[in-house]
Each structure stands twice: as structure tokens, then as C-alpha cells.
């Protein structure tokens, strides 16, 4: 039995040796060393401001001290060049003028430039002061959603005159086109050097839309402008108000704010919106697609949209401001002038210049023929 027991013990030991090994309890694991808290994520660094900003603007369209103050605050020197018509602006850009950071086209020209792919989309995270713009100037038909433009100033195009020389006060485009009414001012009259504005004035006098695409109506307007030529001293979009104050003209076609600005110097000068209706327009801050300093341009636009700065612009130009937050800082004399901020019944007679598409070439041809003959 001992042998049997011994053999059995051997078998048991052999079987145990062939089975899986018993799993030992793992040694106690040490707690991992405490990890450091992750460093807070830093906001992406803003691009650096450029040292210079180049603006292509209408002449005398901003208080130059605003440029100086911006440079003091941000260290950016502003360089301004000027143009005299939307068509000149477009021609310069299409000819390859690529160094501008901000341009100031009118409403219909914004639409044209969008279609031509000339404008950059705005980054509104850099322009929070856009909230100051009056809602009626947001989401305009020429730039739905304000993707490419922000309104800068708005106004009308009508008649400026010397009240001592033109009596009674002109209330009609007839003072520029009707032989009986206009002939007394022959050689003392100016018209804008602008195809859409000048042809548009003739169209309004004739009772047509200033956006007419009817060739017969345009030929009628051309005949009117051809007859008017014998009375016109000059076609000018830059100095028409200075000619009036200097006595070189006594009546002229031009922009509301320019006439009101010289009226500050000479109380004989005044401005009127003709009863047949006139142009209402808005000039806009835009950034060309080729702008070398887009971020700096957006910082500058945001600066201009501050209420106090917006008011300084209007107090200098005498044009209406689309910045409703600026109203409390604008000179009451400007805010209360109905020829600057027209009442509803006058607004109903005003018309925006619109892009007439390929028909633009007809306007250009007619204007070239008028000035050439």
C-alpha cells in the first residue's frame, strides 16, 4: 500500500505539475506621479498691424485729423489717394492698381465690383462696431448681408446755387435744362463729370428713371445734354463747389455735402433737391481682394465706426451718416437740415443708381459723344 500511495502521490504531483500555474497576485502598483495641469490654451495671435495703410477715397471726404489720431493710437500711418468718379475707381483697379487696402465705391459700383470678383469678404470678428450701423442701411440690395461693404456716408445729388444770383430758388432740374430757366446762367453753370449722374439728371427732368435701359429715352436725354452744352462752363466732379464760392459759376450739379460744406464759408451758397426727384446714394468702405493689409484695414474700418469718430466724419463732410450711434454727437444744425436728412415725402422721390449691366456701355458711349462734340 505504501508503494501504491507513493505511486499515487507521484501521479498527483505529476498532474499538478502539468496543470496551469497558479496566478500570483500582482504586486501593488504605485500611484502614477501626479501630472501637471495642462497649460491654458492661448488664443491665436492676431496678425500684426501694418506700418502703413493705403486708402483710395473721394476728395475731402474725411477729416484728416482722423488719420492722425488713428496713427497715434495704433502706430499705422495712413496714405490717401483720391478719385473723382466710380468709373475712375473701377478703371484704376482693373488696370492693376493693387496697393490699396481700402476703397470707397458707391452702391451700384459695389455690386459691379462683386460681380467682377474685385472685393474681399469682410471678417466681422474684427469689426464689432458694425452694430452701430442703422438697420435700414444693413443688408442692402447691392450687397446682401454686407459681405463686402459697410456704408460710410450717404447723401443726394442735386443743385447748388448762389442765392444772390439765382432767384427764385431753383426747385427743378429745369434750371439746368430748360432754355427759359437755364439760359440766364449760360457760362456760369457746371455739371458733374459723371456719366450716370449727369445723364440721370436729364432722365429725371424728362420724367424717366435714372436707370433707364430704353434707348429712345436715353437719346432724348442725350439731346437735352447736347443743347445744355452751350451753357455749361465745365464738367467737373472735384472742384464744382469751389467754383461756386469763387464766383466762376452761380449754379451747378453736385453732391449735397460738398455744397453745404462751402455754405459754411459763404451764406449765399445753398443746395436743393429738385421736385422731379434725384439720386440718393451711399458710399461704402470696401477692401479690394488684392489688399496687402486686410487685417489692418478691418481695424481701421472698426475705428471709423465708433460713434464719436462717425460724427466727426459727418461734421466735416456735411453728409448724412449711416451710423445711428453717431447721431448724438453730430452737429444739430446738420441733423435738422432737411436737405441733408430729407423728410419721408422727399425720400419717396429719390432713386438709387443701379447696375444696368451691359447697358452701361450705352451710357458711356452717350457721355463720350456729349463731351466730344
Taking only the tens place, the pLDDT of each residue in 239-253 is 999 999 999 999 999
Cis peptide bond upstream of 338, omega within 30: no
Interior CA angle at 342 toward 277 and 275, to 5°? 25
Domain count, the chain: 2
Same domain, 309 and 241: no
pLDDT of residue 178: 97
Contact 292, 50 (CB under 8 A): yes
CA distance 265 to 253: 19
Domain with 199, as residue range(s), is: 155-280+353-372
Mean pLDDT of all residues in 115-119: 97
Q: What is the pLDDT at residue 31?
A: 45
Instruction: Flag whether pLDDT at 90 surpasses 70.
Output: yes
174 with 227, same domain: the answer is yes
Specify the pLDDT at position 46. Answer: 72
Establish if 139 belongs to a structural domain: yes
Same domain, 236 and 359: yes
- pLDDT-based confidence at 6, cuts 50/70/90? very low
Asked if 144 and 57 sit in the same domain, the reply is: yes
pLDDT band per the 50, 70, 90 thresholds, residue 98: confident
Q: What is the mean pLDDT of residues 317-344?
A: 97
23, part of any domain: no
Q: What is the pLDDT of residue 47?
A: 85
- The radius of gyration of the chain from alpha carbons, rounded to an integer in Å, stands at 35
Task: Return left, alpha or beta for 117; rule: phi > 0 is left, psi -120 to 50 is alpha, else beta.
Answer: left
Check whether residue 241 and residue 143 sit in a common domain.
no
- Say whether both 217 and 89 belong to one domain: no
Do 246 and 357 lie in one domain? The reply is: yes
Write out the DSSP string of 224-253.
HHHHHTTTEEEE-SSSHHHHHHHTS-SEEE
Tell whether 236 is covered by a domain: yes
Phi, psi (deg, nearest 5) at residue 94: -70, -25
- The pLDDT of residue 29 is 43
In a domain, 37, yes or no: no
186 and 248 in one domain? yes
Is residue 177 scored above 70 in pLDDT? yes
Q: What CATH number does residue 264 fall under?
A: 3.40.190.10
Residue 5, domain member (yes or no): no
In a domain, 33, yes or no: no
Alpha helix (H) residue ranges in 126-178: 174-177
Q: What is the pLDDT of residue 32?
A: 46
CA distance 154 to 141: 15
Amino acid at each position: 500500500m505504501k508503494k501504491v500511495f507513493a505511486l499515487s502521490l507521484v501521479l498527483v504531483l505529476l498532474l499538478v505539475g502539468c496543470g496551469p500555474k497558479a496566478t500570483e497576485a500582482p504586486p501593488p502598483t504605485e500611484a502614477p506621479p501626479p501630472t501637471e495641469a495642462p497649460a491654458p490654451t492661448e488664443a491665436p495671435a492676431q496678425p500684426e498691424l501694418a506700418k502703413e495703410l493705403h486708402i483710395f477715397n473721394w476728395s475731402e471726404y474725411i477729416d484728416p485729423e482722423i488719420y492722425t489720431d488713428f496713427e497715434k493710437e495704433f502706430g499705422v500711418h495712413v496714405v490717401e489717394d483720391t478719385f473723382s468718379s466710380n468709373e475712375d475707381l473701377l478703371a484704376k483697379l482693373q488696370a492693376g492698381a493693387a496697393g490699396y487696402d481700402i476703397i470707397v465705391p458707391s452702391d451700384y459700383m459695389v455690386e459691379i465690383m462683386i460681380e467682377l470678383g474685385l472685393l474681399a469678404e469682410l471678417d466681422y470678428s474684427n469689426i464689432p462696431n458694425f452694430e452701430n450701423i442703422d438697420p435700414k442701411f444693413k443688408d442692402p440690395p447691392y450687397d446682401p448681408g454686407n459681405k463686402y461693404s459697410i456704408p460710410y456716408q450717404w447723401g443726394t445729388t442735386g443743385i447748388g446755387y448762389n442765392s444772390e444770383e439765382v432767384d427764385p430758388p431753383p426747385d427743378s432740374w429745369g434750371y439746368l435744362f430748360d432754355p427759359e430757366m437755364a439760359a440766364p446762367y449760360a457760362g456760369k453753370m457746371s455739371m458733374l463729370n459723371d456719366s450716370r449722374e449727369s445723364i440721370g439728371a436729364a432722365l429725371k427732368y424728362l420724367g424717366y428713371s435714372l436707370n433707364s435701359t430704353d434707348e429712345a429715352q436715353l437719346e432724348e436725354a442725350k439731346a437735352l445734354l447736347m443743347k445744355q452744352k452751350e451753357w455749361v462752363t465745365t464738367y467737373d466732379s472735384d472742384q464744382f463747389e469751389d467754383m461756386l464760392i469763387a464766383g466762376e459759376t452761380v449754379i451747378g450739379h453736385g453732391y449735397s455735402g460738398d455744397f453745404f460744406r462751402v455754405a459754411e464759408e459763404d451764406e449765399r451758397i445753398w443746395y436743393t433737391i429738385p421736385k422731379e426727384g434725384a439720386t440718393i446714394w451711399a458710399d461704402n468702405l470696401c477692401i479690394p481682394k488684392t489688399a496687402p493689409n486686410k487685417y489692418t484695414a478691418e481695424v481701421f474700418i472698426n475705428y471709423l465706426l465708433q460713434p464719436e469718430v462717425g460724427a466727426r466724419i459727418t461734421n466735416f463732410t456735411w453728409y448724412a451718416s449711416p451710423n445711428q450711434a453717431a447721431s448724438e454727437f453730430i452737429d444739430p444744425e446738420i441733423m435738422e437740415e432737411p436737405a441733408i436728412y430729407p423728410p419721408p415725402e422727399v425720400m419717396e422721390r429719390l432713386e438709387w443708381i443701379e447696375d444696368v449691366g451691359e447697358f452701361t456701355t450705352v451710357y458711356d458711349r452717350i457721355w463720350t459723344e456729349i463731351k466730344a462734340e
